[in-house]
Every structure is written in structure tokens, then in C-alpha cells.
Structure 1
Amino acid sequence: MGFNDFMKNLSGNRFTGLQGGRHDIAFMRSLQRDLRTKQTTSIPLNELKVIVFDLETTGFYPDKGDQILSIGAVKVTGSRVEDEYYSAVRYEQILSPSIKELTGLDEEELKQAPEPAAVLAQFFKFSGTSPLVAHHASHEKAFMQHASRKYFRTPFSHRLIDTSFMYRIAEPDNPHIRLEDCCKHNQITVIGRHHALGDARLTAALWAVYIEKLQNIGINTLSQVYERLAAIR
């Protein structure tokens, strides 16, 4: 199967439905209230439900007009995969050749995709109050903060865990930074790179590996992860 066929198969399985507006904003405000009371730092890592996700975007700077093109996510408890989510996001401008080549996305697919607010609302329904996990999460954080303000007039309040937190503790001398290099280092087969769901799957596999490595050195909760990070900074 070619990469474009892989993309089409995934986009055929995406969630559809919400179109933005008052329902979405009301849901997001309710979610914000739930997040304020959610306690996750004392749950054992091998029992913690998280949403591992990835964004493909037109660039790196949402405040300068760059936009989300697709979202992929994997719901996992410990190392057990429970569900997946994927959607392209409507975008009606011309993609740069480099973005088309990198992601495999094309203008026709994006023109037919749901509106950004609808995709984001559906993603937040999928994630609920679970912590989010991303590989080098500053990119995802910037776009989610911008989108939450723009479409729902709410802050982005989910706990966001960067995979680098894990390997900085478990393997402080590990020189690998890129997702594909981290995966190869851990004998994870790299498939679907630079596709939002493909990257989310790879990051989920990496998350599972490092949960085990942290447990082997006595780190069993997020609270202990943060304590150890504070000690090594």
C-alpha cells in the first residue's frame, strides 16, 4: 500500500460530527472545570490513561498564521492501546511543496475535511481529562493553546507530558532527539513517519518502552518523574 493510500484509509475512519459553536464552547468550559479537579500525578504509570498525540501543521508559528492540518491520537493505559483517533483538518489554501512531500497530505483531502473547531472539539471529547503525551511537545502545546483560545475562548489546560521527560531520566546520556532515532534506539519499527496517526503510534510505543525503563529504576508515578527532573536540572 502506498503512503497516499494509507492516508486515505485512515481519513475514511476519522470522527465527524461537531461543527463548532455554542455546544463546543459549553463542552470545553465543562472540560476545563473537570481538569481543575483531575489528579493524575499519583497514579502508577502502568495504570495511567494518557492520550498520545501528534499534529501535522503548515509551519511552526500559529501566532503568525500557521495552521493545523491533521491530528492523530492513541489512547493508552500503561502500555495497552485502547483506541485511536485521526482527522484531517479543513484547509483551503495551497500547500507548500515541502509540506505535501513531508506529510503526504493534498489540497483535495483537506478541502473536504471537517472545520478546525469541529475536529478539535471531537479530539477533546476523545481525550476527556486524560493527560496528553507528545514527542518534544512544545510544538503541539503552541498550536493547542492558540486553537483553544481561537475556537473555544478557553485556555488549554490539559497536563502535557513530553517524552523527553522520560528518556532524560531513564537514559541521561542518550544522544537521540528525533522521533525516528529514538524509536530505532529502542528497536521500534518506524512506519508512517510524518503522518499524524503514524507519529502518534510511534510515540505511544516509545511511551510504553520508557514506562518500563522508569519502573526498573524505581520511578513509578508522574510525581516521581517531576521530582527527578527537578533534581537533574
Structure 2
Amino acid sequence: MKITFNPDHYVIDNLHIPKLHEHMYCIFDLEGTGILPDRESITQFGAMEYKHGEVGHSTFSTLSRTSKPIPDAVAELTGISNADMKTAPAFVEAYHSFSTFIGEKILVTHAGYEYDLPMLKRHCEQFGVKMFRNKVLDTKAMFTYIHPEVCEVISTDYLIRHYNIDTEGIRRHDALADYDVIARILDHLLQEYEERGLDHFTADPTRSIRRFEIPEMYSITEDGGNT
């Protein structure tokens, strides 16, 4: 798979997944010390096996010791603190456990093409481990391809509203909870693909996907300049 980034959108190529409704997928989500994938550190891996129409799938979760402090605002949002990091496994150990769980399954993420994958690739390069080669589906791309009329950024909250998904009682921005939300979104997407007579996903480099918008607070560097 190839991802080509532009300032406000990206396109994907070289990805084809046939028989969408027949696979055992592995939904995954990462938490980090912030929203910028080129500089943040992973704090948590979460993953869940998923097959359309089935329930009771296996799940996985582990913290990952960061290489930088977790800001107070992020700790409050995710529920993961610097104190948790003292006993968390090192990245290599956490990643090995994650890789064992996902095996060779097709992975599913939300906004992972622009956040989780770049951040994870950078960590693998930094720590000298091989990045997995699994195929990866992103629910943003899946939705964008069948709804070209939608011009908004396809956020998790947007899809929750669009599909009227009940998230009451779910703690958001926790990898364990977020993969459950992604699973509910994927369930609706697969149902919609089926209703449209679509049994595959094929990357189309002529279709662009809007990138998430970086909050203004992240556009200022520590020395006061713009990023």
C-alpha cells in the first residue's frame, strides 16, 4: 500500500481487499502523548479480532513505555499517566506482543493512515524492529469512497452521528474503548457496502481523503515559532 500525503488530504494506492464480508479482521488503535505522529510517543496498543456478524471476539491491550512525558491534558483525556509508564513494558516488548496477537490478519483502523501507521513506523525504525506488513483498511477511506458527496473531515464523531451509534458508557480516547467504537463503525460500513452490492475495497489514487485538522495549540513550537 502506498499513501501520498498533501497538506490537507491524502490518497492511497496499491491496496485491494476482496471478499470484504468474509475476513476475520483485527481492529487496532494506538494512544500517544499527543496528536502529531512525527514527534509523539506511543503509550498504548489496543486490538480486537472482528468478523462481520459475529460477537465475542478476542481482545488485546498493553501499555507502552514512552520516551517523553505525557502532558497533563493528554493524561486527563486518555486516562494514562506518567505514573503508569513506570511499570509499562518497553516499546519493543509491547510491539512484539501486539504483533503476535494480530498475526497476518487484515487490520482495521480509523484515521490510522495519517496517525497510527506513521507513528508506529517511526517507532519501529527508531527501535530497530520490523514493521508489520499486514494489509490495513481505514474506515475514513471506506466511508469516503462510498460518500463522495461528503466534504467534511470524516472523524470518529462524524461517523458516530452519521450511523447513530450508541456510545453511552464508553470511555473515549482509550485504545480498549476506541477499538470497540471502530468495530461498531465497521459493522455499519460493511452492511452499507453489502447493500450497495460491493464485496471489495480497491484503493483509487484519484479519490482524496481529507486529513484531520491539527488543533491550533499544536501549531506553535516550544520556541514560539510556527511548525
TM-score (normalised: structure 1): 0.73
Of the candidates 180, 185, 188, which is equivalent to residue 165 of structure 2?
188
Q: Deviations over 1:77-102 (max 9, x none)?
A: 22434211111112375421111121
State the match for 2:102 in structure 1. Answer: 127
State the match for 1:151 in structure 2. Answer: 127
Unaligned stretches of 5+ in structure 2?
1-14, 209-227
State the match for 1:76 in structure 2. Answer: 50
The answer to which structure has the higher strand fraction is 2
Task: Determine if contact 1:148/1:156 at 8 Å carries over to the other structure.
Answer: no
Task: Summarize the alignment of residues 79-228 of structure 1 with structure 2, pairs less than 5 Å apart.
Answer: 79-81=53-55, 82-91=57-66, 94-137=69-112, 138-174=114-150, 175=152, 177-190=154-167, 191-222=170-201, 225-226=202-203
Residues 165 and 94 of structure 1: is their aligned pair in 2 closer, same or farther, counting only changes over 3 Å? closer
Residues 102 and 218 of structure 1: is their aligned pair in 2 closer, same or farther, counting only changes over 3 Å? same
Q: How many residues align?
A: 189
TM-score (normalised: structure 2): 0.74
Per the TM alignment, residue 141 of structure 1 is displaced from its structure 2 partner at its CA by 0.8
Of the candidates 19, 24, 27, which is equivalent to residue 49 of structure 1?
24
Per the TM alignment, residue 135 of structure 1 is displaced from its structure 2 partner at its CA by 0.7
Task: Determine if contact 2:99/2:132 at 8 Å carries over to the other structure.
Answer: no
- Among the aligned pairs, what percent are the same residue? 23
CA RMSD of aligned residues (A): 2.3
The answer to which structure has the higher helix fraction is 1
Residues 67 and 79 of structure 1: is their aligned pair in 2 closer, same or farther, counting only changes over 3 Å? farther
Q: Where in structure 1 do 4 or more consecutive aligned residues deviate above 6 Å?
A: none
Residues 79 and 179 of structure 1: is their aligned pair in 2 closer, same or farther, counting only changes over 3 Å? farther
Paired letter, 1:180: D
Residues 79 and 189 of structure 1: is their aligned pair in 2 closer, same or farther, counting only changes over 3 Å? same
User: Does the residue aligned with 1:80 lie in a helix, a strand or coil?
Assistant: coil
For residues 91 and 153 of structure 1, what CA distance do their matches in structure 2 show? Answer: 16
Residues 232 and 153 of structure 1: is their aligned pair in 2 closer, same or farther, counting only changes over 3 Å? closer
Unaligned stretches of 5+ in structure 1?
1-38
Residues 230 and 105 of structure 1: is their aligned pair in 2 closer, same or farther, counting only changes over 3 Å? same
Deviates more, 1:179-188 or 1:151-160: 151-160
Task: Determine if contact 1:169/1:214 at 8 Å carries over to the other structure.
Answer: no
